[in-house]
């Protein structure tokens, strides 16, 4: 988690966020220790983060490509998330004079609050939140009197004063001076889109696992069947498929090309199909796998 800042008031709304995403791999207790040091500001830069991770035996992956803010019509959206055994998300929806904060565990909303009037919302780790709050405190009493572009610039400048290994060099910042009256409908649609995305992602992961299992079962060496009536009839240990995909078509008997006779035993040597005891190459339009 890094930082996302939102403002809403009678002059409009602003949302800003960085792009950093840090992934951790390793012992859960050691990861928790590293995250604690990281998010309280004890670790000051990327070099210190990498050194501390190495000390604890935790692998880290840093990327700066995760966009945490977006615009749906005239509604501004900011999100922070943590994905492990469960997916945890906190989202803010901002429009002129209104804000909604939604907490999501996997596909279930665990908390939702709607706020009216004017305020600043900050998602992030304690270290960065403290820096931003201290900087914005100088101006927040005047935000309601300012042009929304001035509010945007003030928030952007406050973010630029933050540093540390949880913050990306580039920032995204959006603003609007429009009022949206169907905020609840937009939230519902966004969350439905999120659910569809997660379901699609789950299916892709299931399909990927299926494909990997099939790929691991492709036969490269050994007897696979016998020629009967000019076709290759596979033995009880093998099956043929039309292609490597999540749900291939299955065959026990397939057409075969080559100089074959009934009773010939067919085998695979280093991935090549041939007649046992004869140096005769064969061809099929299928893939032979172990059952």
pLDDT for residue 83 is more than 80? no
Mean of per-residue pLDDT scores for the chain: 90
Q: In sequence order, what are the residues at sequence separation of 6 or more whose Cβ sits closer than 8 angstroms to the Cβ of residue 211?
A: 244, 245, 246
Percentage with pLDDT > 90 across the chain: 60
pLDDT grade for 224, boundaries at 50, 70 and 90: very high
Top mean pLDDT of 46-50, 237-241, 281-285 is at: 237-241
pLDDT for residue 201 is more than 90? no
pLDDT for residue 2 is more than 90? no
Are the beta carbons of 264 and 226 closer than 8 angstroms? Answer: yes
Max distance between CA atoms of the chain, in angstroms, equals 92
CB neighbour burial string for 112-147, b if at least 16 within 10 angstroms, e if fewer? eeeeeebebbbbbbebbbebbeebbeebbeebeebe
What is the arithmetic mean of pLDDT over 202-214? 90
pTM above 0.75, yes or no: no
Q: State residue 226's pLDDT score.
A: 95
Q: State residue 140's pLDDT score.
A: 81
pLDDT in tens, 133-156: 888 888 888 898 999 999 999 999
Query: What residue spans in the chain does CATH classification 3.60.20 cover?
Result: 3-20+64-208
pLDDT for residue 1 is more than 70? no
pLDDT in tens, 258-275: 889 999 999 998 888 999
Q: In sequence order, what are the residues at sequence separation of 6 or more whose Cβ sits closer than 8 angstroms to the Cβ of residue 209?
A: none
pLDDT in tens, 26-45: 898 999 899 888 888 888 88
Q: What is the CATH number of domain 3-20+64-208?
A: 3.60.20
Q: State residue 280's pLDDT score.
A: 82
Are the beta carbons of 253 and 233 closer than 8 angstroms? Answer: yes
3-state helix, strand, coil in the chain (%, to 5): 30, 40, 30
């Amino acid at each position: 988690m890094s930082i996302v800042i939102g403002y809403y008031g009678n002059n409009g709304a602003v949302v800003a966020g960085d792009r950093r995403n840090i992934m951790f791999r390793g012992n859960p207790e050691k990861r928790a220790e590293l995250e604690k040091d990281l998010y309280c500001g004890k670790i000051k830069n990327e070099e210190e983060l990498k050194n501390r991770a190495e000390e604890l035996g935790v692998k880290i992956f840093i990327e700066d490509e995760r966009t945490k803010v977006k615009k749906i019509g005239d509604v501004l959206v900011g999100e922070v998330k943590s994905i492990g055994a469960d997916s945890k998300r906190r989202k803010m929806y901002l429009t002129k004079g209104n804000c909604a904060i939604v907490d999501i565990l996997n596909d279930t909303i665990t908390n939702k609050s709607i706020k009216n009037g004017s305020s600043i919302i900050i998602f992030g780790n304690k270290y960065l939140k403290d820096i931003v709050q201290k900087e914005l405190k100088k101006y927040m009493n005047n935000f309601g009197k300012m042009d929304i572009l001035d509010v945007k610039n003030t928030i952007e400048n406050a973010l630029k004063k933050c540093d540390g290994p949880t913050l990306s060099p580039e920032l995204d910042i959006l603003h609007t001076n429009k009022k949206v009256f169907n905020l609840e409908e937009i939230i519902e649609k966004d969350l439905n889109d999120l659910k569809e995305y997660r379901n699609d992602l789950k299916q892709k992961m299931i399909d990927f696992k299926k494909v990997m299992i099939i790929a691991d079962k492709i036969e490269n060496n050994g007897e696979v069947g016998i020629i009967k009536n000019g076709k290759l009839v596979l033995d009880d240990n093998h099956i043929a498929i039309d292609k490597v995909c999540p749900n291939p078509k299955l065959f026990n008997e397939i057409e075969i090309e080559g100089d074959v006779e009934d009773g010939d035993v067919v085998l695979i040597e280093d991935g090549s199909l041939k007649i046992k005891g004869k140096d005769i190459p064969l061809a099929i339009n299928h893939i032979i796998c172990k059952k």
